[in-house]
Structures are given as C-alpha cells and as structure tokens.
C-alpha cells in the first residue's frame, strides 16, 4: 500500500479540509445573501455564484472522503485524483477572483463614505469576503495535497 | 536528451510566453499609472505593485530562456524548475487577485455614475485591468508547462 499524503482524498485530514471548505463557503453565502442589496453589485453576485458552486463540490468530496475512511480504502485511480485536482484548481481561481473582487468593492464603498451601504450591509460584505478568502486557503491546500499525491499513483 | 515540453523554460515558446508577460504587464502598469488619480484607490495601487513585481520576474526568465536557446541547453536541475514553478504560481495568484479587484472596482465606479472617474480615467482603469488578465493567462500557461515538465527531471 502506498504512503498516503495527509490531506489528500480519503484521509481524515482531507475530510476535515473539505468540511471546513463547506462550512466557510456556506457562511460566506449566508452573510452575503443576508445583506439587503447585494444583487445590485456584480462582484457580490459573482461571489454568491462561486460559493454556490463551491458548496456542492466540497460536500460531495467530503462524502467521498467519509466513504473512503469508513467503508473502503482511498481511491487509487489516477483519473479520479486528476479530476479532483483540476476541479479544485479551477474553483480556487474562481474563489480567489470572487473574494478579492468583493473585498475591493467593499473597501471602495466604505471609502466613499458608506452612502452605498444600506442598513449597515457593508459589515456583512466584509465578513463574507473574509470568509471566502478562508475557504480559498483550504481549497488551495486540498489541491496541493492531491497534486502531491498524483505522481505516486 | 529528454523530450522538451513546448512552453517550458529554455524553449522558444517559453521565451515567447515570457516576452508576452513582460509586454502585457508593462502595458498594464503604464495605463494604470497614466491615469490621474489611481493612488487614491487601494485596488489600483495593489495592481501597480503586482505588475511591478511581475515585470522583473518575466524579464529575468525571458533572459534565462534566451540564454538557454542561444548559448547553452535548457536548465536541467530540478530545483531551478521547481523554483520557477512556485514563483509563477504565487505571482499568478497575486495577478489574478489584483486584476479582478481592479476590474470590479472600475465596474462599481462606472455604475455609480462615473463621479469617481476624473478626466475619463475609468477607460484607462478598464484597459489596465483587462491587460492584467491577459498577462495572468500567459503566466498560468508558463506555470502549467513547467509543472508538466517537472516529473521528467
């Protein structure tokens, strides 16, 4: 049996990373959609769309990890790991772009005197962008660990 | 002699990619810094800083490629390629974050009626962000080609 890279698919660290991604992306989506006026701004709509993509992806892979941990061994097919690495990688770009857009737009809104922040929604935009950055960190960690494992297959 | 991946360090395609990166990042920096009021906005300052990092990186690697093409063969040390891959990768994240921030801020400025665009500078911001995206594409292509070559070393 080959050595498992901690954090890759089918390990408990990988499961924890996926759960963290799912929790952070759900929190980011909820904070953003609880703000009154988010759909007037392209950057915030984009963040909501990307988080809506990231949640099912993370949850599916968390289930795959849980299955591998408790039922059968980790997946050994090269194709599956490659698919997961590429998916993680594409989603990490989308997440980074979305969170940095949301963060910079919020910064501009605060800087222009807060006239665009209805009912203190800027606080929620800030929180949502910050949590999206955290989910990006976890996503890129997952992607790296799986990439590391790829040549050993 | 191992097979060379086109686009990796020491190939003519790699040289073209690096030159493209250098040209695009210089153009983006020039468009941004020719706008009147860019330093009042965090996102634009960040874009200028990242482009200021990307220009020397691309030019150095373009020189390395030119040297490998005309003087000696491509570098074969695993450490050098790994350093280039990691550097490309980190810079690609910075570039993506900077260009999406700048693009979304420009979008917001145009949407709020253009009162923040002094002397039609929004047009330049848009151009600068678009060109920064193009340099990101080339950077990620370089990074992928070099990553592809890494296991054969």
C-alpha–C-alpha distance, residues A129 and A47, integer Å: 8
What pLDDT, in 10s, does the model give residues A47-56? 999 999 999 9
What pLDDT, in 10s, does the model give residues A100-120? 999 999 888 888 776 777 767
What the block records as the tokens of A142 is 């997952």
Which of B29, B60, B34 lies closest to B46, judged by CA? B29
CA distance B71 to chain A (A): 33
Look at residue A20 in the predicted model and tell me its pLDDT.
94
What the block records as the tokens of A66 is 């849980």
Look at residue A115 in the predicted model and tell me its pLDDT.
73
Give the least confident one: A36-40, B58-62, B89-93: A36-40
> Which of A42, A98, A100 should one mutate to test binding to chain B, selecting the residue with the greatest count of B CBs within 10 A?
A100
Mean pLDDT computed over every residue of chain B:
87
Cβ–Cβ contact B91 with A under 8 A: no
pTM of the model: 0.89
Look at residue B114 in the predicted model and tell me its pLDDT.
66
Dihedral sign computed on CA atoms, order B46, B136, B54, B34: negative
Supply the DSSP string of B77-140, one letter for each residue.
Answer: -HHHHHHHHHHHHHHHHHHHHHHHHHHHHHHHHHHTTSTT-GGGHHHHHHHHHHHHHHHHHHHH
pLDDT band per the 50, 70, 90 thresholds, residue A25: very high
CB neighbours (10 Å) of residue B97? 24
Question: Helices H, strands E: what count in chain A?
Answer: 4, 0
DSSP tag of A127: H
Compare CB distances from A105 to B93, B105, B116 and report the shortest one's residue: B105
Indicate whether A1 pLDDT > 50: no
Cβ–Cβ contact B136 with A under 8 A: no
CB pair distance less than 8 Å for B108 and A151: no
C-alpha–C-alpha distance, residues A119 and B71, integer Å: 65
C-alpha–C-alpha distance, residues A89 and A81, integer Å: 12
Indicate whether A17 pLDDT > 90: yes
What the block records as the tokens of B19 is 């030159």
Look at residue B1 in the predicted model and tell me its pLDDT.
46
Look at residue A23 in the predicted model and tell me its pLDDT.
95
pLDDT band per the 50, 70, 90 thresholds, residue B52: very high
**pLDDT (average), residues B40-65:** 92
Cβ–Cβ contact B102 with A under 8 A: yes
CA distance A70 to chain B (A): 33
More confident site: B38 or B92: B92
Indicate whether B145 pLDDT > 80: yes
Look at residue B35 in the predicted model and tell me its pLDDT.
83
Mean pLDDT computed over every residue of chain A:
88
Interface of B with A in 1-20 (CB under 8 A): none
Are A105 and A44 spatial neighbours (Cβ–Cβ below 8 Å)? yes
Chain A residues whose beta carbon lies within 8 Å of the beta carbon of residue B98 = 100
Q: Which residues contact B107 (CB under 8 A, 6 or more apart)?
A: A42, A43
Dihedral sign computed on CA atoms, order B42, B47, B52, B56: positive
CB pair distance less than 8 Å for A107 and B43: yes
Compare CB distances from A96 to B43, B96, B102 and report the shortest one's residue: B96
Chain A residues whose beta carbon lies within 8 Å of the beta carbon of residue B97 = 96-97, 100
Q: Which residues contact A103 (CB under 8 A, 6 or more apart)?
A: A126, A129, A130, A133, B101
Give the least confident one: B18-27, B79-88, B116-125: B116-125
Indicate whether A150 pLDDT > 90: no
Q: Which residues contact B142 (CB under 8 A, 6 or more apart)?
A: B7, B14, B17, B18, B21, B61, B88
User: What count of CB pairs under 8 Å joins A to B?
Assistant: 55
Chain A residues whose beta carbon lies within 8 Å of the beta carbon of residue B43 = 104, 107-108
**pLDDT (average), residues B48-73:** 90
CA angle B103, B98, B115 (to 5 degrees): 40
Look at residue A2 in the predicted model and tell me its pLDDT.
58
- Give the residue on A whose Cα is nearest the Cα of B94: A96
Look at residue B3 in the predicted model and tell me its pLDDT.
66
pLDDT band per the 50, 70, 90 thresholds, residue A3: low
Which of A6, A22, A23 lies closest to A14, judged by CA? A6
CA distance A59 to chain B (A): 25
Are A20 and A131 spatial neighbours (Cβ–Cβ below 8 Å)? no
- Give the residue on B whose Cα is nearest the Cα of A111: B41
Cβ–Cβ contact A107 with B under 8 A: yes
**pLDDT (average), residues A59-65:** 92
């Amino acid at each position: 049996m080959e050595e498992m890279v901690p954090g890759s698919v089918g390990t408990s660290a990988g499961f924890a990373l996926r759960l963290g991604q799912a929790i952070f992306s759900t929190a980011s989506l909820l904070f953003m959609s609880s703000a009154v006026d988010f759909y007037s701004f392209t950057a915030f709509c984009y963040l909501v769309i990307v988080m809506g993509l990231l949640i099912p992806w993370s949850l599916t892979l968390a289930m795959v990890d849980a299955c591998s941990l408790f039922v059968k061994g980790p997946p050994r097919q090269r194709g599956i790991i490659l698919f997961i690495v590429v998916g993680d990688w594409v989603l990490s770009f989308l997440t980074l772009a979305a969170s940095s857009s949301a963060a910079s737009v919020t910064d501009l809104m605060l800087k222009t005197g807060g006239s665009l922040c209805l009912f203190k929604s800027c606080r929620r935009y800030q929180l949502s962008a910050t949590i999206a950055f955290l989910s990006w960190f976890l996503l890129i960690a997952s992607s790296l660990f799986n990439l590391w494992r790829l040549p050993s297959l």
